[in-house]
Amino acid sequence: MQQHHRPVFEHPFELWREDGVLRLVLARGAQVDLQHMKEFIRLVAALDTTGSTPVLMEYPAHVLVADKARALLRRVCGAQGHPVALLVADDGGRAQAELFKYVERPSFPFRIFDHREEAERWVRERRTTTTVHVPSGQDR
């Protein structure tokens, strides 16, 4: 009889750096709480000490991010300035993303995308402009 072991880390996401972009993929149906968000923020800071590398976040169907986790993300990432492209997979994800955009009003560049190609292009543009000052209010 084969025994299944739980993974050492049970985070509902994967995060890595590739071609000058931080890539975050949430698990389908993930329930992201405050502790998960703290770990995500800690890992992003470890992968990018400048705080300016763009993040491409894949937000699959049926993901739920707790209110406190969203508020923490806004506070911490507002100070760091990572541009975030959010690639949504369904209407529920889009609704949550729009709610975050209009309620939390993130001070970092934040865009919601339905198509991978557009999201990839946007983060590439942010990657090449991280050394150039972009006035506040653009690309939100």
For residue 75, the model assigns a pLDDT of: 81
Residue (of 49, 52, 55) closest to 21 by Cα position:
55
* 122 vs 130: CA distance, rounded Å: 12
The answer to whether residues 78 and 107 touch, using CB atoms and an 8 Å cutoff, is yes
Whole-model pTM? 0.78
For residue 100, the model assigns a pLDDT of: 84
* 45 vs 51: CA distance, rounded Å: 7
DSSP-derived pairing of the beta strands 55-59 and 64-65: unpaired
Convert the pLDDT of each residue in 77-132 to its tens digit.
766 678 899 999 999 889 989 988 988 788 888 899 999 999 999 999 988 665 44
**Domains, in order of start, for the chain:** 13-126 (3.30.750.24)
Find where tokens 């149906």 sit. 29
Convert the pLDDT of each residue in 36-93 to its tens digit.
999 988 998 899 888 889 999 999 999 988 989 988 887 887 666 788 999 999 998 8
